[in-house]
Amino acid sequence: MKLFKKILIANRGEIALRIIRACREMGIETAVVYSDIDKNTLPVRLADEAICIGPALSAQSYLNIPAIISAAEITDAEAIHPGYGFLAENPHFVEACTASRISFIGPSAENIRVGGDKARMRQLMKRRGVPIVPGSNNRIVDEREALEIAKKIGFPVILKASTGGGGKGMRIVHEEKDFIQMYHIAQKEAFAAFGNGDLYIEKYISEMRHIEIQLLADNKGNIVHLGERDCSIQRRHQKLIEEAPYVFSNPRFRKKLGDLAIKVAKAMKYRNAGTVEFILDKDNQIYFMEINTRIQVEHPVTEMITNFDIVKEQIKLAAGKTLSISQKDVKFSGHSMECRVNAEDPERFVPSPGTISLFVPPGGHGVRTDTAAYSGWTVPAHYDSLIAKVVVHGRDRNEAIVKMRRVLNEFIIEGIKTTIPFYLKILDDPDFISGNFNTHFIENKR
Minimum CB distance to ligand MV4 smaller for 170 or for 367:
170
Q: Is 133 in the site for ligand MV4 (CB under 6 A)?
A: yes
Q: Interface mask (CB under 6 A) for ligand MV4, residues 332-371, using x and -? A: ----------------------------------------
State the amino acid at position 2 in one-letter form: K
Q: How many residues belong to the chain?
A: 446
Minimum CB distance to ligand MV4 smaller for 275 or for 369:
275
Minimum CB distance to ligand MV4 smaller for 135 or for 245:
135
Q: Interface mask (CB under 6 A) for ligand MV4, residues 84-123, using x and -? A: ----------------------------------------
Q: Is 204 in the site for ligand MV4 (CB under 6 A)?
A: yes
Q: Given candidates 170, 185, 286, 424, which one binds ligand MV4 under the rule CB under 6 A?
A: 170
Distance of CA 107 to the CA centre of its chain: 14
Nearest Cα to Cα of residue 388 among 409, 413, 365: 413
Q: How far is the CB of 439 from ligand MV4 (least distance, A)?
A: 3
Task: Kindly indicate which of the ranges 200-208, 325-333, 362-370, 385-393 contains the residues binding ligand MV4, using the contact rule CB under 6 A.
Answer: 200-208
Q: How far is the CB of 209 from ligand MV4 (least distance, A)?
A: 10
Residues 258, 303: Cα–Cα separation, whole Å: 16
**Residue 294 designated active-site:** yes
Maximum separation of any 2 CA atoms in the chain, in Å: 62
Q: How far is the CB of 375 from ligand MV4 (least distance, A)?
A: 35
Q: How far is the CB of 341 from ligand MV4 (least distance, A)?
A: 20
Q: Is 224 in the site for ligand MV4 (CB under 6 A)?
A: no
Q: Is 172 in the site for ligand MV4 (CB under 6 A)?
A: yes
Helices (H), 240-289: 251-267
**Looking only at residues 261 through 280 of this chain, which bind ligand MV4 when binding is defined by CB under 6 A?**
279
Whether the CB-CB separation of 160 and 172 falls below 8 Å is answered with: no
Whether the CB-CB separation of 392 and 345 falls below 8 Å is answered with: no
Helices (H), 134-178: 143-153
Beta strands in 236-328 (DSSP E): 238-244, 272-281, 286-292
Q: How far is the CB of 159 from ligand MV4 (least distance, A)?
A: 10
Q: In the chain, how many H helices and how many E strands?
A: 15, 20
Measured N-to-C along each axis, helices 299-306 and 310-318 cross at an angle, to the nearest 10 degrees, of 100
Residue 416, number of CB atoms within 10 A of its CB: 21
Secondary structure letter of residue 323 according to DSSP = P
Q: How far is the CB of 139 from ligand MV4 (least distance, A)?
A: 18
Residues 170, 70: Cα–Cα separation, whole Å: 37
Minimum CB distance to ligand MV4 smaller for 286 or for 325:
286
Minimum CB distance to ligand MV4 smaller for 108 or for 439:
439
Q: How far is the CB of 422 from ligand MV4 (least distance, A)?
A: 17
Minimum CB distance to ligand MV4 smaller for 229 or for 417:
229
Beta strands in 108-253 (DSSP E): 157-161, 171-173, 199-203, 208-217, 223-235, 238-244
Distance of CA 359 to the CA centre of its chain: 26
Minimum CB distance to ligand MV4 smaller for 84 or for 332:
84
Annotated active-site residue in 294, 348, 368, 406: 294
Residue 65, number of CB atoms within 10 A of its CB: 15
Task: Kindly indicate which of the ranges 63-71, 201-209, 255-263, 358-366 contains the residues binding ligand MV4, using the contact rule CB under 6 A.
Answer: 201-209
Under DSSP, is residue 106 helix (H, G, I), strand (E, B) or coil? coil
Q: How far is CA 91 from CA 110, 112, 166, in A?
A: 7, 6, 19
Q: Given candidates 158, 161, 280, 356, which one binds ligand MV4 under the rule CB under 6 A?
A: 158
Q: Is 211 in the site for ligand MV4 (CB under 6 A)?
A: no
Q: How far is CA 43 from CA 27, 212, 368, 385, in A?
A: 17, 29, 18, 17
Count the site residues for ligand MV4 by CB under 6 A.
14
Q: Is 205 in the site for ligand MV4 (CB under 6 A)?
A: yes
Q: Is 19 in the site for ligand MV4 (CB under 6 A)?
A: no
**Which residues contribute to the site for ligand MV4 (CB under 6 A)?**
133, 158, 167, 170, 172, 202-205, 208, 237, 279, 439-440
Q: Which residues are catalytic?
A: 294
